[in-house]
Chains A and B, each alone.
Chain A
Amino acid sequence: MRRFLAWVSERPHRLRAYVVGKAAAVVVMLILVWALQDKDAVVVYMKF
């Protein structure tokens, strides 16, 4: 993972694309977590 991050951060455009893509994935994940939170079928646990 560290080696991958070092490779990604070698070029500014590569790093920007990586972080924007990751942010989009996290937003989708958080929307799913929020949407599924109170459904009986899926129990979502988060302490923090």
Chain B
Amino acid sequence: MSVCSLGFLFFTGVVTLLFHARPGLGGRRMVLGAASLFFLAAFRPDLRSLAALAAFLFVTHMSLRLAPRASRLTVVLLGAAVVAAFLVLRRYSFLQSLLPAKLLGHPLELVGLSYMLFRFLHLLVDVRQGQIGAVSLTSYLSYQLSFLTLVAGPIQRYRDFRASWDTLARSTPPPRDTLLAWDRLLSGMIKIGLLSTALLYVYERAAAGALREQPPPALLLRFMAYFYSYPAYLFFNFSGYTDIVVGAGRLLNFSLPENFDRPYLARNILDFWNRWHITLTKWIRDYIFMTSYKWSVDRLGPSPFLGPSAVFVALLIAGLWHGSTSNFALFGLVHGVGAAVNQVYDEILKRRLKAPARRAYAENAWIRGAATFATLHVVCFSFLFFPGDLDLVFARLHFAATAVARLAGSAG
């Protein structure tokens, strides 16, 4: 079921009515559980995919039960085995040279698997470290299969989930809050149904147009439409989705974390990731960046290269998580390099400028504007690699560069 559909609007209305008709905690949990199962069934998964999903949830829950008593090596191996299963289930293209084609040619399609993996790994680490106690099977299934976060996040932490899950029985919010929750949900639908749809239409036309022989000014105009429309489409589509689920959550006494904060106004790549898909960034920071950084410092000692290297690895992995093809590796590479350069630049500033001068530098409106402009263009460039055939992306870049050269030549 698309969250931007009449069906989802009706579904949310019915679930909200049933939810508030039941005052008790147990009854409300049952309503949400049934709603999540109905939502999952609406994707019409075949029996084999359902069995694979059940196996994934069973194995990961068993791992969580083992984690507090098992050795550190066992926990690492359990996590690695689940990641390996995820890579096979998502058919990552680099596995084609390592595994038999039959294994990767499976017909299984698991809705929301990437997000389930992140939620599981977070739980595995936190349960192992004793930050989270035992996780019952019903809590785990409710957490993993919640219709509010199943398809595309946000990646809610288990403790935050429990905070809402344990207080579902609190009284119905005042009418003003209910109306504002509906407003948020409806705004999300407008973002997806109207704005992102129109932008994707522009993108598709401009992408085709940027490959045709034409005078350089016309080609550059089409290239600019191609360059800017996809990032704008992605923002409206994904932030619209977040608006819908955050609004639906508020109607059901469920608090979900925010995922966007005006990302295209970021001053640098690290700032961009603090504003774009915020819950993913926090996950990557806590479980990849901090872990790899601490591990490196413990073994190699402090070094100015460790921070940029750890950031590079973290953002490369963030890129790879988005999809199974080399498109996403390139996306991650651009962001990894951008963030590493960002860190090195910060380090140089720290060494060359004293604190007051650094503050003045950071607050300078021209520098802020230039930094925001440069970051926006690096981000838009990285999103060129997100959709479609890479050969066509490079062909469009070549066409645009040739057009610029021809224009410069005729002007000279």
Contact = CB atoms under 8 A, between A and B. Distances in A.
Interface residues of B, number: 30
A5 B152 CA distance: 27
Tell me the interface secondary structure of chain A in the complex.
Answer: helix
Contact of B189 (A16, A18, A29): A29
A2 to B, nearest CB: 12
Nearest to B152: A48
Given A26-B189, A29-B190, A30-B6, A48 B183 contact: no
Interface in B316-361: none
A48 B240 contact: yes
Contact of A19 (B179, B192, B204, B240): B179
Interface residues of A, number: 23
Interface string A1-39: 000010001001001101100110111011101100000
A15 B179 CA distance: 7
A41 interface: no
Nearest to A34: B6
Interface of B: 2-6, 9, 151-152, 175-176, 179-180, 182-183, 186-187, 189-190, 192-194, 196-197, 200-201, 204, 237, 240-241, 244
Given A19-B186, A34-B6, 13 more contacts: A5-B183, A15-B179, A18-B183, A19-B182, A22-B190, A27-B9, A30-B6, A30-B193, A33-B4, A33-B5, A46-B4, A46-B237, A48-B244
Interface of A: 5, 9, 12, 15-16, 18-19, 22-23, 25-27, 29-31, 33-34, 43-48
